[in-house]
Amino acid sequence: MSLKRAPYGTWKSAVTADFVAGQSLRFGLVQASDDRLYWSETRPTDNGRSVIVERDAQGSLRDVLPPPFSARSKVHEYGGGEFLARDGVVWFVNGDDQDVYAIESGSAPERLTEQKDTRFSDFDLDKLQNRLVAVAETHGSDKTSDPVNFLCAINIAEPSKSDAAVIVDGADFYAFPRVSRDGKYLCWVEWDLPHMPWEDARLMLGSVAGDGSIENIRQVAGGNGAHVFQPEWADNGDLIFISDESGWSNVYRLRGDKTEVLHERKAEFGRPLWGLGTRSLAVLADGRIAAAMIEGGAYKLSLLDVDNQTCAVIETPFRQIDALCSLGTGLAAIVTGDKQAPTLVSTERVETAGMPWVNVRNSLSGEIDDG
């Protein structure tokens, strides 16, 4: 390579603004349903439209959303939690009107809500009640009053385009509404000003009554200077979540009325909740937990054995690991490496060593010279 001298700030670089921003995808939410993987990606070449993509078991990719639909939520302004994929149906927030739509393969999107000055995000499916539960945020039409946040229910059996029903309110902010596998319980995270969610946040639990209302609400973790992050229901009814009550954000389990840490470690398993739907752990099909922790300033992929309460570190070539998602017996995540731009990867089986990773989607279409 021949060297050329140029005044500071005038030298030419192969890493141009167009290469980094104009040609690179920006990944959003990652989810799985059965053997299919879904994610959202913002495409600069499509005027910044955020498209939901599906990969089937054979590895074929297809766009779920037809233009001009764009999956983007503006709840909390930072957004996130823009879609939910279950049983062949994808529910999503459309960027232009912030209303909720449903789409099935081969069909056009169907509008489920038509609610003025209201935004939606962070969905879960309540099969027993035939509804979605979600975070909602209303904005006054005069633009001077503060937004109001609440948890809502959206009827998917008979879409009426009427107002979504309020099921939980009273806190300043909400995240992670999650319905238990048997449909009997709803958990969520809430917090109030002046706190940020990583400073002080509460994990709440309520019973789902026959009419769909939430009863017997109680706080099960967090608060008083502690925060909670990403509650997830396991198949056996355990509620898995992350809390920093010890000073380190470790993984905990609520079983019945007993809360216990699954593995004490001077590591951070949680993440700052800038955007709804942020994930750092995945409950696998066999009950083990894959989690991306930050230890000693480095990202590490760990595997927690719930029964033995042990934690094994899995060697990977990655420098950053986020958006973990259980995919059958395997795992998907968004990763970066020393020479790797953000990439969606997957593996068929989670083991402590020798896992082959498949590149599902690269954020950059081109390559950068190692130099």
Least trusted range by pLDDT, from 136-150, 191-205, 274-288: 136-150
Tokens 């983007």 -> residue: 72
Q: Single out the residue of 175, 177, 190 nearest to residue 124, CA to CA.
A: 177
With a CB cutoff of 8 Å and minimum separation 6, the contacts of 323 are 27, 29, 30, 278, 279, 332, 333, 334
Cβ–Cβ < 8 Å for 85, 31: yes
Per-residue tokens: 166:
């309020």
pLDDT tens-digit readout, 64-83: 999 999 999 999 999 999 99
pLDDT tens-digit readout, 214-263: 999 999 999 999 999 999 999 999 999 999 999 999 999 999 999 999 99
pLDDT of residue 352: 83
Residue type, 290: A
Is the pLDDT score of 266 beyond 70? Answer: yes
pLDDT of residue 368: 67
What proportion of the chain, given as a percentage, has pLDDT over 70?
Answer: 95
SS3 content of the chain, % helix, strand, coil (to 5): 0, 50, 50
With a CB cutoff of 8 Å and minimum separation 6, the contacts of 4 are 11
Is the pLDDT score of 365 beyond 70? Answer: yes
Is the pLDDT score of 24 beyond 80? Answer: yes
Taking residues 130-145, what's their average pLDDT? 88
Q: Report how far residue 15's alpha carbon sits from residue 35's, in angstroms, rounded to the nearest whole number.
A: 37
pLDDT of residue 159: 67
pLDDT of residue 339: 85
pLDDT of residue 116: 87
Is the pLDDT score of 191 beyond 70? Answer: yes
pLDDT of residue 202: 98
Q: Report how far residue 265's alpha carbon sits from residue 293's, in angstroms, rounded to the nearest whole number.
A: 10
Paired strand residues for 90: 85, 103
Backbone angles phi, psi at 337, to 5 degrees: -140, 180
With a CB cutoff of 8 Å and minimum separation 6, the contacts of 238 are 253, 254, 255, 306
Q: What is the mean pLDDT of the chain?
A: 93
**b vs e for 38-77, b when ≥16 Cβ sit within 10 Å of the residue's Cβ?**
bbbbbbeeeeebbbbbbbeeeeeeeebbeeebbbbbbbbe
Is the pLDDT score of 1 beyond 70? Answer: no
Residue type, 28: G
Query: Residue ranges of the alpha helices (H) in the chain?
Result: 17
Q: H-helix or E-strand containing 327?
A: strand 320-327
Q: Report how far residue 253's alpha carbon sits from residue 239's, in angstroms, rounded to the nearest whole number.
A: 6
Per-residue tokens: 305:
């054995």
Per-residue tokens: 102:
């449903």
Taking residues 298-303, what's their average pLDDT? 96
Other CB atoms within 10 Å distance of the CB of residue 311: 21
Q: Report how far residue 270's alpha carbon sits from residue 175's, in angstroms, rounded to the nearest whole number.
A: 14
Per-residue tokens: 238:
């355990």
Q: Report how far residue 171's alpha carbon sits from residue 190's, in angstroms, rounded to the nearest whole number.
A: 6
Taking residues 343-359, what's their average pLDDT? 91
pLDDT tens-digit readout, 149-170: 999 999 998 766 567 999 999 9
CB-facing half-sphere around the CA of 236: CA atoms within 13 A: 14
Higher pLDDT, 191 or 328: 191
Tokens 């595997």 -> residue: 303
Taking residues 35-56, what's their average pLDDT? 96
Is the pLDDT score of 173 beyond 90? Answer: yes
Taking residues 328-342, what's their average pLDDT? 92
Q: Single out the residue of 34, 41, 18 nearest to residue 360, CA to CA.
A: 41
pLDDT band at 196 (very low <50, low <70, confident <90, very high): very high
